[in-house]
């Protein structure tokens, strides 16, 4: 009976599950979230940096799946070239010449970043690559979903698993593993990987690769580690945050734009202007 009641509640919600990206989108800009995750409209262009980062992830996916460095690099470059111009936010670079020049710089940035990473790639006992998984978590009204770059055998305990996440960045994160975004993402991956493999999860390992060369000659890779046995309070806060967000989307509400959002502010105001979301009618 309880399961039926839970299922009935889910039918009244506008989404079927939470992911790290959808939760962050909702917290940052509810109207942009509504467009993408409720209306399922995916026409917002990506930043050049985002396109390069996805191409780098493609290369890592192929490399850790067993391909040689050169082949993995080429497949990542191919994925970058297959992104259409209308899918990229070129900013002020609107002429064909400027867009072509920007794409050439994106390719150089991609090749440099992947070259930095693959010069001395971290070694892992890989269990899974690009692992997509869903989990029903006790205490949450909605399931959660995550994609893990790598699931590897833990060096802390061979009977356990670690999760590895790659980030290709312009500068290293100043707050390291204490960064709230890292912890929230880590917990999405923790529950989903545990559900999929049925094994204990020891750590979430973030490997940042700086895309531009360090002038001081320091390593281009930096590693942050979140030990799950050290973040007990964060498990509670994680559930509370998701349940509070679920309560917010379950009630009738207006989705207003956030023009100050550096990523989707202008786009969210355009959505609002066009009336994508209907206003609530007074009773």
Per-domain residue ranges of the chain? 48-119, 126-242
Half-sphere exposure of 204 (CA within 13 A, CB side): 27
The overall longest dimension of the chain from CA atoms, in Å, is 66
- CA-only gyration radius of the chain, Å: 20
The number of residues in the chain equals 283
3-state secondary structure of 88: strand
pLDDT tens digits along 58-78: 999 999 999 999 999 999 999
Q: Return the bridge partners of 134, or none.
A: 145
DSSP 44: P
Instruction: Tell which wins on pLDDT, 114 or 263.
Output: 114
Q: Is the pLDDT of residue 175 over 90?
A: no
Q: Average of pLDDT values for 125-140?
A: 97
Instruction: Provide the 8-state DSSP code for 171.
Output: S
Please give the Cα distance from 127 to 162 (Å, whole number): 10
Tokens for 8, please give them.
């009935």
pLDDT surpassing 50 at residue 1 = no
List, in order, residues 6 or more apart from 226 with CB less than 8 Å away.
Answer: 177, 182, 183, 186, 203, 204, 205, 206
Residue located via tokens 């150089």? 108
pLDDT at 31 over 90: no
| pLDDT, tens digit (0-9, with 9 covering 90-100), for 229-249 | 998 889 999 999 999 999 999
Phi, psi of 50 (to 5 degrees): -65, -40
Residues 6+ apart with CB under 8 A from 89: 45, 46, 47, 48
Residue with tokens 């734009």: 257
Whether the full predicted model's pTM is greater than 0.75, yes or no, is yes
Burial class (CB in 10 A: 0-12, 13-18, 19+), 40: exposed
Mean pLDDT of 200-221: 94
* Mean of pLDDT over the chain: 87
Comparing CA positions, the residue from 190, 204, 174, 274 lying closest to residue 239 is 190
pLDDT of residue 174: 77
- Count of beta carbons in the 10 Å neighbourhood of residue 145: 19
Lowest average pLDDT, out of 1-5, 48-52, 108-112, 244-248, goes to 1-5
- The answer as to CATH 3.90.320.10 being correct for domain 126-242 is yes
- pLDDT exceeds 50 at position 36: yes
35 or 127, greater pLDDT:
127
Stronger pLDDT, 201 or 44, i.e. the higher one: 201
Q: Hunting for tokens 């029903």 — which residue is that?
A: 136
């Amino acid at each position: 009976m309880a399961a039926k009641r839970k299922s009935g509640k889910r039918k009244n919600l506008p989404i079927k599950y939470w992911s790290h990206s959808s939760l962050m989108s909702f917290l940052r800009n509810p109207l942009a979230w509504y467009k993408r995750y409720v209306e399922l409209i995916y026409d917002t262009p990506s930043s050049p940096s985002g396109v390069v980062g996805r191409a780098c992830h493609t290369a890592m996916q192929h490399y850790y799946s067993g391909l040689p460095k050169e082949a993995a690099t080429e497949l990542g470059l191919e994925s970058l070239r297959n992104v259409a111009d209308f899918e990229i936010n070129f900013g002020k670079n609107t002429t064909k010449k400027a867009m072509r020049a920007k794409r050439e710089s994106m390719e150089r940035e991609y090749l440099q970043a992947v070259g930095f990473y693959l010069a001395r790639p971290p070694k892992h006992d890989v269990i899974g690559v690009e692992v997509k998984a869903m989990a029903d978590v006790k205490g949450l009204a909605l399931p959660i979903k995550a994609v893990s770059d790598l699931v590897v055998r833990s060096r802390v305990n061979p009977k356990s698993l670690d999760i590895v996440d790659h980030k290709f960045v312009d500068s290293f994160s100043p707050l390291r593993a204490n960064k709230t975004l890292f912890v929230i993402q880590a917990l999405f991956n923790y529950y989903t990987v545990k559900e999929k493999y049925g094994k204990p999860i020891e750590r979430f390992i973030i490997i940042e690769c700086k895309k531009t060369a360090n002038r001081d000659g320091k390593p281009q890779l930096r590693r942050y580690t979140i030990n799950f046995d050290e973040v007990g309070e964060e498990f509670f806060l994680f559930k509370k945050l998701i349940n509070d967000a679920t309560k917010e989307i379950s009630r009738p509400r207006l989705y207003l734009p956030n023009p100050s959002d550096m990523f989707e502010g202008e786009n969210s105001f355009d959505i609002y202007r066009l009336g994508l979301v209907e206003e609530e009618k007074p009773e």
